[in-house]
A = this chain, B = another copy of it.
């Protein structure tokens, strides 16, 4: 019966002793560096035999210290990864990240360290110790990313990418960005193709960068195609304005583009209350990823989350392989979902 091995794990020095060579020889044999070619088969075999006998495995900390790599990819989310509430948001990204990390031989570190505040929001810098350093590079993920921390991270020359748009003055944060602008434009184009000429736009209350992209894309398409936008529209107040709604019911718009599913559903109900049906009387499209619901699938865009996760990993690899390169952001196209909530103008 085997007995549990006690004491320290064997080091290359132990292996070297047993194989009758020097520690450096062991290192060369194991890590297979260029000079390995100069070590004959016989010696190599002795080393490997000793490795097997002692059950030697490399000490990752020491290795990481010596090289500047430890094949670890950090993932920092500013909220918990697993919990249900945010599950939908993060989940698909992680899927892609994990897949790609696995394919490229990297392990993943989930940074779960909370800030001292205990408010549940996560911080990168905690008591002077930036834990992200543990990983060769990191993917940052989350809507509430702290701009100050991003700036510092960038300033310190840490290698990372941010999923989603996040502009920080004075820093060039490499971002992987769903191309909401183009997608929003294409949705307008599609509606125009169905004969719509008078449009409405409903804003959400959030004022994050991604919504700015959508508004830009919408406004550009309206202008480019010579369509009309019923005010208050994309420049107005968030939410569904009562006066505006009456105008729409009166025919001021035949197509409405809405920033979120929640708002779209509210809109549909309030239209129904006034005897207007979607899409028969009015077409409605949504500018975010939307699951199918009982009343059908929203005409919407799809956020290619998994794809974005994979891209983020590749991007990170590229940055690690060539540290000198400029950190550029990347737009990822969003496919359109045809849906059942838009129709040709009647």
- A38 on interface, CB distance cutoff 8 Å: no
**Of all chain B residues, which has the CB nearest A64?**
B61
Complex interface residues of chain A between 117 and 139 (CB less than 8 A to chain B): 125, 128-131, 133-134
**Contact present for B107 and A60 (CB under 8 Å):** no
Most chain-B Cβ atoms within 10 A of its Cβ — which of A55, A64, A112, A130? A112
Q: In the complex, A58 Cα to B268 Cα: how many Å?
A: 55
**Contact present for A155 and B2 (CB under 8 Å):** yes
Q: In the complex, A72 Cα to B60 Cα: how many Å?
A: 13
Could you say which of B65, B98, B129 contacts A80, with CB atoms under 8 Å apart? B98
Complex interface residues of chain A between 92 and 118 (CB less than 8 A to chain B): 94-95, 98-99, 101-102, 105-114
Number of copies: 2
Residues on B with C-beta less than 8 A from A86 are: 87
- A51 on interface, CB distance cutoff 8 Å: yes
Residues on B with C-beta less than 8 A from A55 are: 152, 155-156
Taking A59-B133, A102-B112, A108-B109 as given, write out 12 further A-B residue pairs in contact, using a Cβ cutoff of 8 Å, ordered by the A residue number: A5-B156, A56-B128, A60-B129, A60-B131, A61-B61, A82-B95, A83-B95, A86-B87, A105-B113, A107-B111, A107-B134, A109-B110
**Contact present for A61 and B70 (CB under 8 Å):** yes
**Contact present for B98 and A129 (CB under 8 Å):** no
Q: In the complex, A59 Cα to B151 Cα: how many Å?
A: 20
- A85 on interface, CB distance cutoff 8 Å: yes
Complex interface residues of chain A between 160 and 217 (CB less than 8 A to chain B): 170-171
**Contact present for B110 and A60 (CB under 8 Å):** no
Q: In the complex, A2 Cα to B155 Cα: how many Å?
A: 8
- A4 on interface, CB distance cutoff 8 Å: yes
Q: In the complex, A58 Cα to B111 Cα: how many Å?
A: 16
**Of all chain B residues, which has the CB nearest A54?**
B156
Could you say which of B1, B62, B87, B156 contacts A65, with CB atoms under 8 Å apart? B62
**Contact present for B113 and A110 (CB under 8 Å):** no
- A157 on interface, CB distance cutoff 8 Å: yes
